[in-house]
Structure 1
Amino acid sequence: MKGLSTMKLFLLFPLLLATIEYASSSSPSVIIIGAGMSGISAAKRLEDAGIKDFVILEATNRIGGRIKKTEFAGYTVEMGANWLHGVGGRMRNPLYEMSKQIHLKKFYSDFSNISSNTYKQEGGLYKKDEVDAAINKVDKTIEDGVKYSNILNSEKDGNDNNDMSILAFERLYKREPRTKLERAVDFFNFDAEQGQAPRVTSLKHVLPFPEGHYYGENSYFVADSRGFESLVHLIAKQFLSYKNGVVNDPRVKFNQVVNKIEQSKNGVLVRTEDGKKYQANLVIVSASLGVLQSDLISFKPQLPLWKRRAISEFSIGIYTKIFLKFPRTFWPVANGTEFSLYVHERRGYYTYWQRLHNEYPESHLMLVTVEDDESIRVEQQSDEETKAEIMEVLRKMFGKDIPEATHILIPRWKSDRFYQGSYSNWPVGYSQKRHDQLKAPVGQVYFTGEHTHSTFFGYASGAYFAGINTAREVINCLKNKRFCRGVRHG
């Protein structure tokens, strides 16, 4: 699983809040849909404000959302969010600070030696100076791109259209990647960060990369049996009851798949697929952007066009970490060999590799990451087909005599109807005004999630902050109707 802007005044939409007749005292004040980081963060903020009569409806049997661990070949690995940032920047990453509280096991990721670990399509290593030249080209693009982004953000035009894609900027400055090697390095720096290609990614809103810019460039890979999700539980344990390490709070309803949200003068009625009904004064929707773009949840009345456009036009990428286990280690394990690139004529074809000998000693584990179109393609084929493709690549990298992988794990975020993507990406031409609409409430329904944070969209920290921000608005509305913003934002 990427800040804050002042909301503008807009024309009034049907004034649903003006005619609210709050539900009976037996109904909760707030229903939160989704128990991911943003939903739990919002609930914690409500609790702190004395609003304890909320209900959390979660479609799965766990909290955490796209922060999700699983067991793989005897080890705990992360299917979703995996890295923490937070050292040396202007701000402290709250999640990194939480990880220190509970001594979460995390390992520094050193990408500096990747030029010595870049493999040709048919085998053999590139010369270090060749890769360094490609890396320097991208580094210069990022450096100049940040400067140009600052210029674009300082310019004010009536339509907020002063934006361009990262690819357009590369073309403008004659730095478009031309060779297979340059495309692989470009992929590693942009696609693997945003989950989508530079041709669709906003220069203005993505550069500088937010977490590195604010929290510091150092990255730490979480490899702990408690999982990255232990940070979500750390927050939840401050206000939810637990039993034997599991959430056991009557306010959290698991396996409740919300499929309809109805607004009326009596409040909001939430329906689930198993026929249950829940009613509250206000609702916070923390479902992923992918779910909002699907037909899983319907709204009555239908969301206004400005809101549907804001949802439809934002982007959600796919980031797929494919874990592999082997009977023995056949790759170098010396310092500076953790990360490597495989260069193929097809952009993103099993390009980005990580050897997990530091994080999981003697495990013989490695992972390869694919994104976007390649993720979709891999999700649609069998694990065996994908393993065969990967083994062909590995035999070109390390020789024909390497052993076959004994285990493979392929997350399928796009195919999972409860997520339908990994994390959001700001598309070129998507204005700040449109993003304000994306996070704006409609009547008694509020929206939160990493995609609603205008700086840390796509990141777990964005989900954390978004939940707090949305809860603050809900609290203000419940305590004083003058602060209710359920009006038209078009």
Structure 2
Amino acid sequence: MDQPKIIIIGAGLAGLSAAQRLITKGLNNVHIIEAKNRIGGRVLTQEHGGSYIEIGAQWIHGEGSNPIYRIAHENGLLKKELREDHKNDEGDLFYTQHGQLAPIELVEDTDGILDDILEEANKFSRQNVPADKWDDSLGQYAREMFLRSGTMTGRGSSVQQIIEAIFNWKMALEKTENGCPSPDELSLYAWGQYLEYEGDDSVVLEHGYEPIIRVLAADIPEECLHLNKEVETIKWTSSTEDVPDAGNNAVVSPLVVGLGDGETQTADYVIFTCSLGILKSRAASMFIPPLPEDKTAAIDRMGFGTVNKIFLEYERPFWDKDCMDIELLWLPDKQPFFLNCLNNKHIEKYGEWYRSIHGFDVVDHHSNLLCGWIAGSEANVMEQIDDDVIIDVCHELLMRFTGVNDMSRPNKLIRSCWSSDPHVLGSYTYIKAGNTAGDCDVLSEALPSTQNPRLLFAGEATVKAYFSTTHGALLSGQREADRIIDHHEKTKHE
């Protein structure tokens, strides 16, 4: 039997890992179609100042058997001298909007209580969750448990305000880490369905994520990569006329992939690895015939949020050399907080989007660079605003919070705009309150059937235990490659 033709749509981690697995197992008729002018997808390492910055994926989440960690370890890509910013809180500075430094002991104690609550949420969701709690959100659970903890009891009003600000900061951090509009929209039921690898959950790479991409791409011949090619349609079959028995191994008519330039390509198998954002936006018009109702319903139920980074470059840093992070605590003041750099028209049009910036990290390898984090709908809004306005806003925020009034204005801005990227339309997947990560399994099901997989789906959104992660994306590509390999082995002897 001739080698099957396999088209992989998308050259991110899922697509590249699928291609690598297929090719190394002897299936060489592989074609990766990528809409962008580069490979990597949501991995985007950019050269800057003699080093690099990460516009997209930042850390390896976990060690041990994490496949990304193993690639990094085996290829000498791990950072040799880790900054201890996520292990040692001494470099974390928490300021209020009034320029006051919050007592670090109070921050650490409150943050520790919140970490315990989130861990309890993990255990709670892995047990038999009562039916009346299925629709609960992580934010709702955290708020209820925090109030029960007695953290506020016996405290003066000023301390209570700081504690409340720390709680809100923690929720903003969870908003960023989970890519959701708010923890109040994040499924408590699904919280424990996400699994973590042992070891450090924020492993740093010496030269960023790009070398991981290069390792995967090294086994893929250049002629297999087709960049700047946008897929418009995928014709597959769900017809019993084409498949006499949808459960058997009969060969279906070739799938037909239509490109934006009018070209069409046929294939025996297609692996679709584009983001959930693309599926939400284009699935209805892309797939012919339409995807099954259970799959489209899962796509609708799942969440796909935005997380963006705002890099600020300074001629000289205003922060101490031991500073790791500048975190923003918004006290629940009754007195309105206005930025002098913004007028009423801006607020009327865009709202107070800047309140979702929960902090600025000092960037590894750069002594004069800060990275601000913003997530949710406010991250989408930020993408619509001019660079100079973003710089002015961040400059005034940092002055007002730190109390350093003579700091220089940043001389350069670099930012991500993932929701505006037409080939991604967001950052990563989250599970909405009232739903479960089981929708990831539905999304991963091959068509027309698991016995006859011709149209296959990969990407972080298709992995129940590891959605939203780089290792989830990589594992999903290998999973679908193995599915094709197994099916091909069965059918070639018939």
For this structure pair, what is the TM-score category when the shorter chain's length is used for normalisation?
A: 0.7 to 0.9
Matching residue's letter, 2:314: F
Q: Deviations along 1:139-182, whole A, 9 cap, x unmatched?
A: 221132122122137x8x8xx98463112212443549982232
Q: For residues 162 and 481 of structure 1, what CA distance do their matches in structure 2 show?
A: 43
Q: Tell me the residue number matched to 1:219.
A: 202
State TM-score, norm by structure 1: 0.82
Match of 1:31 in 2: 7
Paired residue for 2:38? Answer: 62
- Of 319, 334, 358, 1:351 maps to 358
Instruction: Give the 5 Å matches for 1:138-287.
Output: 138-152=114-128, 162=134, 164-175=136-147, 179-188=164-173, 190-196=174-180, 197-207=182-192, 210-211=195-196, 214-222=197-205, 224=207, 227-237=208-218, 239-241=219-221, 249-264=222-237, 265=242, 266-287=253-274
Residues 1:167 and 1:254: Cα distance change in structure 2 (over 3 Å): same
Closer, same or farther: CA 125–223 of 1 in aligned 2, 3 Å: farther
Corresponding residue SS for 1:308: helix
Q: Deviations over 1:89-123 (max 9, x none)?
A: xx422212222233325334523416951011121
Q: What's 1:6 paired with?
A: none
Is 1:426 the counterpart of 2:431 in the alignment? yes
Structure 1 residues 180, 432: CA separation in 2 closer, same or farther (over 3 Å shift)? closer
Distance change (3 Å), C-alpha of 1:69 and 1:377: same
Where 1:294 maps in the other structure, the secondary structure is: helix
How far apart in 2 are the matches of 1:70 and 1:276?
A: 32
| Aligned counterparts of 1:130 and 1:161: Cα–Cα separation in 2 | 32
Say if 1:314 and 1:161 are closer, same or farther in 2 by CA, change over 3 A: farther
Q: 1:161 to 1:120 in 2, by over 3 A?
A: closer
160-169 or 258-267: bigger deviation: 160-169
1:250 aligns to what SS in structure 2?
helix
Query: Structure 1 pair 110/301, CA: closer, same or farther in 2 (3 Å)?
Result: same
Larger mean CA deviation between 346-355 and 306-315 belongs to 346-355
Quick check: 1:326–1:365 contact (8 Å CA) kept in 2?
A: yes
Unaligned runs of 5+ in 2: 153-162, 243-252, 333-351, 449-453
Q: Does 1:94 align with 2:80?
A: no
Where is the helix percentage greater, Structure 1 or Structure 2?
A: 2
SS in 2 for 1:234: helix
How far does residue 73 in structure 1 lie from its aligned partner after superposition? 4.7
Cα distance in 2 between the residues matched to 1:77 and 1:401: 27
Does the C-alpha gap of structure 1 residues 436 and 161 become closer, same or farther in structure 2, counting only changes over 3 Å? farther
Give unmatched runs, 5+ long, in structure 1. Answer: 1-21, 242-248, 483-490
1:67, CA displacement in angstroms?
A: 0.6
Q: Distance in 2 between matches of 1:215 and 1:103?
A: 20
Q: Is the 8 A contact 1:205 1:426 kept in 2?
A: yes
- Structure with larger Rg: 2
What is the aligned length?
434
Equivalent in 472, 485, 489 of residue 482 of structure 2: 472
CA spacing shift, 1:232–1:300, aligned 2, 3 Å: same
8 A contact 1:342–1:352 mirrored in 2: yes
- CA distance in 2 between counterparts of 1:395 and 1:218 reads 32
SS at 2:47 equivalent: strand
Shift of 1:399: 1.4
Change over 3 Å in CA distance of 1:223–1:208 after alignment to 2? farther
Paired AA for residue 368 in structure 1: G
Q: Which residue number in structure 2 is paired with residue 360 of structure 1?
A: 365
Quote how far apart the aligned CAs of 1:222 are.
3.2
CA distance in 1, matches of 2:206, 2:325: 16
**TM-score between the two structures when normalised by the length of structure 2:** 0.81
Aligned-pair distance for 1:56?
0.7
Alignment RMSD: 2.7
1:417 aligns with 2:422: yes
Asked if the contact 1:109/1:220 (under 8 Å) is kept, the reply is no
The answer to whether the 8 Å contact 2:34/2:226 transfers is yes
Q: Which moved more, 1:429-438 or 1:411-420?
A: 429-438
Query: 1:481: Cα distance to partner?
Result: 5.1
Tell me the distance in 1 between the aligned counterparts of 2:445 and 2:193.
25
* Equivalent position of 1:379 in the other structure: 383
Q: Is the 8 A contact 1:210 1:456 kept in 2?
A: yes
Matched position secondary structure for 2:418: coil
CA distance in 1, matches of 2:25, 2:188: 38
Corresponding residue of 1:135: 111
Asked if 2 retains the 8 angstrom alpha-carbon contact of 1:330 and 1:398, the reply is: no
Q: Is the 8 A contact 1:191 1:198 kept in 2?
A: yes
Q: Amino acid of the residue matched to residue 100 of structure 1? A: H
C-alpha contact 2:356 2:375 (8 A) present in aligned 1: no
Contact 1:324/1:406 (<8 A) preserved? yes
* Distance (whole Å) between structure 2 residues aligned to residue 203 and residue 216 of structure 1: 24
Q: Partners of 1:468 and 1:257 in 2: how far apart? A: 23
For 2:225 and 2:380, locate their aligned partners in 1 and report how far apart those are by CA, in whole Å: 33
- Contact 2:399–2:405 under 8 Å retained in 1: yes
Once residues 208 and 306 of structure 1 are traced to their aligned partners in structure 2, the CA distance between those partners, rounded to angstroms, is 20
